[in-house]
Amino acid sequence: MILTPQLRVVFRAVVATVVPAAVSLDGPRWRTLEQLVEGTVLARPPRLQRQLRLLLHLIQWLPVLRYGRTFSTLDPARQARFLSYLQDHPIGLIRTGFFGLRTLALLGYYGRPEAAQNIGYAADPRGWEAPG
C-alpha cells in the first residue's frame, strides 16, 4: 500500500489543491481515485514508490518551517502557494517530483469514469477511426 492513512490525508489535500473540484468528492469517489493512483504507482519500481512516499512526507512537514502548520492543515490559499513554490523550485528534482505527483492527482481525478463522462471524454478503442 502506497497511501498509508497518514499519507492519504496529504495526498487528498494535494489533489484538492491541484483539482479544486475534488473537494466535492464523497468517500467512494475518493477511494476510486486512490485506487487508480495506487494501481499506477504499484506498477512502478519500488524505488519510485519510496520516492513518492518521501515526497508526500516532505510536502506534509516542510510548511511547518514557514507557516507553523502541516500542509494538510493549511488553508487552501497557502496550500496552493506552497505547491506553486515546489512547481517553480530551482532544484530540478523537486520540480520533477512535484509534476509527477500532480500528474497522479490529475490521473486519479480525471481517470474516474464519472469524471470522463462529465467532461465529455468518450475514448474509443478504434481511436481516430471512430465516428465522431
| 127 belongs to a structural domain | no
Tell me the pTM: 0.87
| 17 belongs to a structural domain | yes
Q: How many domains does the chain have?
A: 1
First to last CA, the chain: 40
Q: What mean pLDDT comes out for the span 88-99? A: 96
| 61 belongs to a structural domain | yes
| 125 belongs to a structural domain | no
Q: What does the radius of gyration of the chain's CA atoms come to, in whole angstroms?
A: 16
Residue 95, pLDDT score: 96
DSSP structure class, residue 45: -
| 53 belongs to a structural domain | yes
128, pLDDT greater than 70 = yes
| 80 belongs to a structural domain | yes
| 113 pLDDT tier (thresholds 50, 70, 90) | confident
Residue 35, pLDDT score: 95
Residue 114, pLDDT score: 84
58, pLDDT greater than 70 = yes
| 123 pLDDT tier (thresholds 50, 70, 90) | low
- Domain interval for residue 109: 5-117
How far apart are the C-alpha atoms of 16 and 24, rounded to whole Å? Answer: 9
